């Protein structure tokens, strides 16, 4: 699967609806703002009405996205279940976005936290969630019908924009709407709307000539119109003279548009021109003022006004509050302007992302061993660290890919390390796996064997959660074969290997791994580590039916662990062992204590309710506990939630249920070994 370094689902307001009358589902409203200046297109807008799949095609800069946005914004009331948006990146520097990644973004936007890996499964889940919903999707800048086809929902309205017609989508019943360059009259109207005075009417010939030289492309008309708007005393004739002095080609439309952009660029003050050039190399789909400041090596206060000026000149777009981006034609133009400080600017941007990610990571996980040198002087982020990581995820991943492609391996693994809290909490598995693969390779190339081992263990956790056990074993073998004098890496790898064996139904092999972990941690004398190892041993012994031994190990673990959440997890498994030993009252008491201490850990609390269901005195009580367990899952498609739903369904259709307490959900690792 390809790494991503660019596009992202647009961040926006979120609401909720009830899916099939049950759990609330997130309602994303992701459309970018509607165009500020828009003319004509009455025929094209009318052609979009009444069709579920629409393909809007035309040359670059002709206004396809503006047309789609105007139509969708005008009909927002028709889509109460939300709107999804994605830039598919047909012309982005990183290349088109694979459909499996887009589906991951969409499913997360719709409230799915555990996104399955295979493309076919993601498609099925997306169709299931979208069935019967009145919503819209804008798939912008599509590269091919093959990229679009897997993204089609079960219901709703889909608008696709592309420079190509995407004729194969006719099989899916698409209506094709071609967008031509604006005619002379509408081009002048757009210029007039942007300039906001009477110059187009007092100089109609010059206005027509300017429109002709812009090729009828709104992106070029917007740039020249903004330039004239900022110069209210400049005549249109003088603007034409300057273009002709620039030896504007008369017959080559592409060259004429490029010259229009060149003239606006040459006229920029030096600071704005430098910002325009260097920000075009920022990784990711958008950037904020702080990133722009890093790119040019200046304080934020000195670039904010310049960014606003570039927006006013239509050389940048404000894609959301405080976030800026380029039309792909303008990014290409900006990148064509040589700047000797480009490499230094990119490095400053990468280092900015690294420092901010470290700040967020330290705030979320203040205790823990880190290896990156940036942690030595890190200051914890004061507000919303997880929200910041989620918002910046596409940019962080793009920064890591940029570091990789530009030959900066030391930054690759260092950028990956602070993303751990994000992946641990949010489970973006595609990004988790791809970033860690690159980071492990980079760490090894830098001679950072310890970093490679720690990152390898983190990658393994993703593999285990995805049930990719062969991949997990291969990664763990590499960690253990490295021969590092690092008990943390060794015991973590052994503990993860034990989880692989439990997942494969091999509790005896898991028990052997956990006993080896216990031996190492006992030699180190760390009470918490010993307690966690004994908890794992107890789990394996329960699976083996060796209840008395499991009780002994879990009781020792309970005594060793001070953290209320970790102790509650032990009590959950201890209750299972007690129930198996016939100590039902003690099991209920332990589960009651565990439930109280796991109020802030809903996924682990779900295990408590499942165990209580297994101890219930009557079927109705059991059903209540299963319903309580389901309520702990934000995502009804979470594999654990699906298993609980199956248990509840079975219980509702059978008079009795032979359920072993606690076996329903399985454990999703949350960061302790």
pLDDT digits (tens, 9 = 90+) for 133-142: 999 999 999 9
Q: DSSP string spanning 510-551?
A: HHHHHHHHHHHHHHHT-HHHHHHHHHHHHHHHHHHT-HHHHH
CB 659, CB 647: distance < 8 Å:
yes
Provide, for the chain, the percentages of residues in helix, strand and coil under a 3-state DSSP scheme, each rounded to the nearest 5.
60, 5, 30
Model pLDDT, residue 596: 87
Instruction: Determine which helix (DSSP H) or strand (DSSP E) holds 13, and give its type and residue range.
Output: strand 13-18
Angle at 288 between CA 270 and CA 38, to 5 degrees: 80
The Cα 213–Cα 333 span in angstroms is 17
Phi, psi (deg, nearest 5) at residue 270: -55, -40
CB 286, CB 319: distance < 8 Å:
yes
Model pLDDT, residue 507: 96
Model pLDDT, residue 665: 45
Under the phi-then-psi rule, with left for phi > 0, alpha for psi from -120 to 50, and beta for the rest, what region is 348? alpha
* Residue whose C-alpha is closest to residue 493's, from 507, 511, 475, 505: 475
Model pLDDT, residue 253: 54
Which tokens belong to 395?
Answer: 């940019």
Between the alpha carbon of residue 267 and those of residues 242, 271, 315, the distances in Å are 11, 11, 12
Between the alpha carbon of residue 248 and those of residues 59, 131, 384, 633, the distances in Å are 21, 53, 51, 62
Beta strands 323-325 and 317-320: pairing type? Answer: antiparallel
The per-residue pLDDT for range 10-34, each reduced to its tens digit, is 433 444 443 333 444 567 888 988 8
Model pLDDT, residue 320: 82
The Cα 423–Cα 427 span in angstroms is 5
Residues in the chain predicted with pLDDT less than 50, given as ranges, are 1-24, 247-252, 655-673
Angle, nearest 10°, between helix axes 184-195 and 218-229?
Answer: 40
401 contacts: CB under 8 Å, gap ≥ 6: 3, 4, 5, 94, 283, 438
The Cα 660–Cα 580 span in angstroms is 8
589 contacts: CB under 8 Å, gap ≥ 6: none
The Cα 652–Cα 214 span in angstroms is 68
The number of beta carbons lying within 10 Å of the beta carbon of residue 269 is 10
The Cα 330–Cα 318 span in angstroms is 14
Instruction: Determine which helix (DSSP H) or strand (DSSP E) holds 348, and give its type and residue range.
Output: helix 342-364
Model pLDDT, residue 662: 46
* Residue whose C-alpha is closest to residue 304's, from 319, 289, 315: 289
Residue 86 β-bridge partners: 9, 139
Which tokens belong to 441?
Answer: 């390779």
């Amino acid at each position: 699967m390809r790494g991503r370094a660019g596009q992202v689902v647009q961040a926006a307001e979120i609401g909720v609806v009830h899916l099939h009358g049950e759990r609330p589902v997130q309602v994303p409203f992701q459309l970018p703002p509607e165009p500020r200046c828009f003319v004509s297109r009455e025929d094209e807008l009318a052609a979009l009405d009444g069709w579920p799949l629409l393909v809007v095609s035309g040359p670059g800069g002709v206004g396809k996205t503006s047309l789609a946005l105007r139509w969708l914004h005008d009909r927002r009331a028709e889509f109460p279940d939300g709107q999804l948006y994605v830039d598919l990146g047909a012309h982005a520097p990183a290349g088109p976005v694979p459909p499996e990644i887009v589906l991951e973004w969409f499913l997360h936007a719709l409230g799915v936290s555990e996104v399955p890996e295979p493309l076919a499964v993601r498609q099925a889940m997306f169709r299931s969630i979208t069935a019967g919903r009145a919503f819209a999707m804008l798939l912008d800048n599509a590269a091919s019908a093959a990229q679009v086809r897997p993204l089609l929902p079960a219901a709703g309205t889909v608008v696709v924009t592309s420079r190509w017609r995407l004729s194969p989508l006719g099989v899916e019943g698409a209506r094709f709407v071609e967008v031509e360059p604006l005619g002379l009259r509408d081009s002048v109207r757009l210029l007039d709307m942007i300039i906001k005075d009477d110059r187009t009417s007092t100089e109609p010939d010059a206005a027509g000539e300017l429109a002709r030289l812009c090729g009828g492309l709104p992106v070029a008309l917007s740039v020249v119109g903004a330039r004239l708007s900022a110069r209210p005393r400049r005549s249109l004739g003088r603007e034409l003279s300057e273009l002709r002095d620039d030896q504007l080609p008369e017959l080559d439309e592409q060259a004429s548009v490029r010259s229009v952009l060149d003239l606006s660029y040459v006229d920029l003050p030096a600071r704005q021109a430098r910002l325009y050039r260097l920000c075009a190399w920022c990784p990711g789909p958008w950037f904020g003022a702080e990133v722009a400041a890093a790119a040019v090596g200046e304080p934020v206060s000195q670039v904010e006004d310049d960014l606003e000026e570039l927006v006013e000149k239509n050389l940048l777009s404000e894609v959301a509050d405080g976030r800026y981006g380029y039309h792909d034609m303008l990014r290409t133009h900006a990148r064509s302007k040589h700047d000797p400080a480009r490499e230094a600017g990119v490095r400053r941007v990468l280092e900015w992302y690294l420092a901010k990610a470290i700040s967020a990571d330290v705030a979320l996980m203040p205790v823990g061993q880190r290896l990156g040198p940036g942690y030595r002087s890190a200051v914890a982020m004061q507000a919303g660290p997880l929200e910041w990581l989620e918002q910046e995820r596409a940019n962080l991943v793009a920064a890591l890919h940029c570091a990789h492609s530009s030959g900066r391996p030391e930054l690759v693994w260092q950028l990956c390390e602070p993303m751990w809290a994000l992946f641990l909490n949010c489970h973006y598995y595609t990004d988790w796996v791809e970033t860690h693969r690159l980071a492990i390779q980079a760490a090894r190339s830098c001679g950072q064997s310890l970093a490679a081992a720690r990152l390898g263990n983190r990658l393994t956790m993703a593999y285990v959660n995805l049930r990719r056990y062969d991949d997990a074993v291969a990664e763990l073998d590499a960690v253990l074969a490295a021969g590092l004098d690092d008990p943390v890496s060794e015991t973590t790898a052994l503990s993860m290997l034990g989880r692989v064996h439990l997942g494969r139904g091999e509790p005896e092999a898991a028990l052997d791994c956990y006993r080896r972990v216990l031996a190492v941690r006992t030699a180190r004398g760390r009470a918490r580590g010993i307690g966690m190892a004994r908890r794992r041993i107890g789990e394996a012994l329960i699976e083996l039916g060796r209840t008395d031994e499991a009780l002994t190990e879990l009781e020792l673990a309970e005594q060793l662990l001070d953290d209320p959440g970790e102790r509650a997890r032990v009590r959950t498994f201890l209750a299972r062992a007690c129930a198996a030993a016939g100590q039902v009252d003690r099991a209920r008491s332990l589960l009651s204590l565990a439930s109280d201490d796991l109020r802030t850990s809903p996924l682990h609390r779900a295990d408590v309710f499942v165990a209580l269901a297994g101890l219930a005195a009557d079927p109705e009580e059991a059903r209540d506990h299963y319903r309580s367990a389901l309520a702990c899952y934000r995502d009804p498609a979470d594999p654990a939630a699906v298993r609980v739903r199956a248990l509840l369904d079975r219980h509702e259709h059978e008079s009795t249920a032979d359920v072993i307490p606690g076996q329903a959900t399985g454990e999703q690792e949350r960061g302790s070994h």
